[in-house]
A and B are shown apart, each in its own frame.
Chain A
Amino acid sequence: MTVMEKPTAKMDAKKRYSAGVLKYAQMGYWDGDYVPKATDLQALFRITPQEGVDPIEAAAAVAGESSTATWTVVWTDRLTACDSYRAKAFKVEPVPNQPGQYFCWVAYDLVLFEEGSIANLTASIIGNVFSFKPLKAARLEDMYFPPAYVKTFKGPPTGIVVERERLDKFGRPLLGATIKPKLGLSGKNYGRVVYEGLAGGLDFTKDDENINSQQFMHWRDRFLYCMEGVMRATAATGETKGHYLNITAGTMEEMYRRAQFAREMGSVIVMVDLVIGWTAIQSMAEWCRANDMILHMHRAGHGTYTRQKNHGVSFRVIAKWLRLAGVDHLHTGTAVGKLEGDPMTVQGYYNVCRETKNAVDLQRGLFFEQDWCDLRKVMPVASGGIHAGQMHQLLHLFGDDVVMQFGGGTIGHPMGIQAGAIANRVAMETMVLARNEGRDIMAEGPEILRDAAKWCKPLEAALTTWGNVTFDYASTDTSDYVPTPVAS
């Protein structure tokens, strides 16, 4: 008998535990009648079974390989309350308009997971199953966490509300810029860009993901010059400013050392890259909580597993894990900029970051209702190929609680960095003002910007330079659900 014959009904215990190889569905990893308990975690996978593999058996295999199963029967299962440890695939549906792909829903008992550990969660849910041979491809599309599990995490150390209160900035998006060129500047020259950007009107400037401690700029030098720029700009404007000091390093010991120095220098924020790993992220969240520090997360590397629709992990799941793990800022896409992201799908990520409860919203890729149990909100960051001319679109798509980061769109301004910052800040404030006055910014946006450009030369120059730049490519990661037309 091969592993992938058509599954049959469950068997009696004697037959079930005879030595040999059984189908996963027969081993108890499929139960089409199962109703998830209120304390179960749930995962939704998109699977592409190999030719001839039954989708239900493939779904059972996913449940099995992400919980207790091994490839053969083991009698030692009978020393445990084994049925409760088995994940259960309970629903399989063809993906709309994607032949050969299926959505499968899997429920996991709460007992399977250690409290407060994303490393433990991910080792189960994405540990083995993505390499499983009977599947051509698999993608973790979404997850549901019951309150009993959510409450084992502390979540963001600062969150949107407290970040705004600390910075004393309300009622508008925050503005940032990544220092460019991202590699090669000395500490002294780098700090100059920080100062010019912040004095011009930005709230934050940012290290890029791969700025750590290279030969051209050691980390201590960077921190000293950046904080000089931050404090000078604060004095020049009377407004709290910050620079995301990237403390990513090769060891936790070194990251703590850098974080501690950032704190001593009076920085309000530090930054890490997603590639440091889940445990390191949770440790830095703990440190930030203990030290009143905002934690900025750059999602470096995520595109390797989030972008392709048929295989990997959706970014909405990564965003959920990060809200539990505890980051304050998270790069979540721009929809209109240079990086991947369809507007509805990106809005789904924003909702994961910011809402108290997520409703089911298939067009935005949210398959589960999710109560965040008052975990603090993560501030999304829109960064990558955006400019002042898109302000109405950005504000319309993302609202006020977002950091808009214009890197090239600030530093590349023909009149200089301060002018670039002024252009962005004026564009943003003028658009917020107009929206609050009840104007339709999606229709009138370009006109609102042109009117402001009449009294703001830097904005006029920005619109002239970039006004027509768009990155209009089809997204690879889009919703499979389109609105159903209703009969009129």
Chain B
Amino acid sequence: MRLTQGAFSFLPDLTDTQISAQIEFALAQGWAVSIETTDDPHPRNTYWDMWGMPMFDLKDAAGVMMELKAARTALPERYIRINAFDSTRGWETVRLAFIAHRPPVEARFALDRVEAEGRVQRYALRRVPA
């Protein structure tokens, strides 16, 4: 299964040149870029592990690309995403997020069901072995 979280999951995996261009775009908006990784991409897993702090004062995409390469080398079995955070009043949230690295074997989920009253199903997403 191809995990379709993030802004560009329906495109072929982005090349480093493409990733770098998106980071340049984010920095040009004044957004702070950060890198996060996980081995649990459950859609409710909000808090992926931070690969260092958001790079608030960074001006050049090359710095992020260096960190991205380091993260890939250290954690090739994990998902790695790039976030761009906007601290403008009224936003104060992530404005762009996309997956920049996928594990060799992607996550899969199964749907658990529990019968409840009146034909109701209680659903839960469960990670299954690849």
Chain A residues within 8 Å of B, Cβ to Cβ: 161, 164-165, 168-172, 201, 220, 224, 227-228, 231-232, 234-240, 264-266, 356, 374, 377, 422, 425-426, 429-430, 432-433, 436-438, 455
Pick the contact of A437: B25, B44, B119 (CB < 8 A). Answer: B25
- Once the chains bind, are A171 and B11 in contact (CB under 8 Å)? no
- Can you report 19 residue pairs joining A to B where beta carbons are below 8 Å apart? A161-B90, A165-B46, A170-B95, A170-B97, A201-B10, A227-B121, A231-B123, A232-B111, A234-B43, A234-B125, A235-B111, A235-B125, A239-B5, A374-B90, A429-B11, A430-B11, A433-B14, A437-B25, A438-B25
Q: Given A161-B91, A437-B21, A455-B12, A236–B7 Cβ distance below 8 Å?
A: no
Report the minimum CB–CB distance from A3 to chain B (whole Å): 48
- Once the chains bind, are A201 and B4 in contact (CB under 8 Å)? yes
Q: Given A232-B111, A455-B12, A172–B7 Cβ distance below 8 Å?
A: yes
A201 to B8, CA, bound (A): 12
Pick the contact of A170: B4, B7, B107, B120 (CB < 8 A). Answer: B7
Decide yes or no whether B51 CB sits under 8 A from chain A: no
Q: Given A425-B10, A429-B10, A238–B111 Cβ distance below 8 Å?
A: no
The 6 closest A-B pairs by CB, nearest first: A171-B96, A436-B25, A171-B7, A238-B3, A235-B111, A231-B123
Decide yes or no whether B18 CB sits under 8 A from chain A: yes
| Closest partner residue, chain B, to A432 (CB atom) | B7
A354 to B95, CA, bound (A): 14
Q: Given A356-B89, A438-B25, A237–B1 Cβ distance below 8 Å?
A: yes
- Once the chains bind, are B123 and A266 in contact (CB under 8 Å)? yes
| Chain B: interface residue total (CB-CB under 8 A) | 43
Q: List the A side residues contacting B94 at CB < 8 Å.
A: 164-165, 170-171
A265 to B107, CA, bound (A): 25
Q: Render B97-125 as a binary contact track against A, CB cut-off 8 A, 1 for contact.
A: 11000000001011100000011111101
| Closest partner residue, chain A, to B41 (CB atom) | A238
- Once the chains bind, are B43 and A433 in contact (CB under 8 Å)? no
Report the minimum CB–CB distance from A125 to chain B (whole Å): 28
Report the minimum CB–CB distance from B96 to chain A (whole Å): 3
Known: A168-B5, A266-B123. 9 other contacts (CB 8 A): A169-B7, A172-B7, A201-B4, A238-B109, A265-B120, A426-B10, A429-B9, A433-B14, A436-B22
Chain B residues within 8 Å of A, Cβ to Cβ: 1, 3-5, 7-12, 14, 18, 21-22, 25, 41-44, 46, 83-84, 89-98, 107, 109-111, 118-123, 125
Q: Given A171-B84, A426-B10, A429-B11, A237–B93 Cβ distance below 8 Å?
A: no
Q: Given A433-B11, A437-B25, A238–B43 Cβ distance below 8 Å?
A: yes
Q: List the B side residues contacting A432 at CB < 8 Å.
A: 7-8
Chain A binding surface SS class: helix
A265 to B8, CA, bound (A): 30
Report the minimum CB–CB distance from A89 to chain B (whole Å): 34
- Once the chains bind, are A264 and B120 in contact (CB under 8 Å)? yes
Report the minimum CB–CB distance from A23 to chain B (whole Å): 46
Q: List the B side residues contacting A429 at CB < 8 Å.
A: 7-11
Q: List the A side residues contacting B4 at CB < 8 Å.
A: 201, 237-239
A234 to B127, CA, bound (A): 12
| Closest partner residue, chain B, to A436 (CB atom) | B25
| Closest partner residue, chain B, to A430 (CB atom) | B11
Report the minimum CB–CB distance from A309 to chain B (whole Å): 32
Q: List the B side residues contacting A437 at CB < 8 Å.
A: 18, 21-22, 25
- Once the chains bind, are A426 and B25 in contact (CB under 8 Å)? no
A240 to B84, CA, bound (A): 20
| Closest partner residue, chain A, to B17 (CB atom) | A437
Report the minimum CB–CB distance from A224 to chain B (whole Å): 6
| Closest partner residue, chain B, to A437 (CB atom) | B21
In the complex, which of the residues A171, A265, A422, A429 has the most CB atoms of chain B within 10 Å of its own CB atom? A171
- Once the chains bind, are B10 and A236 in contact (CB under 8 Å)? no
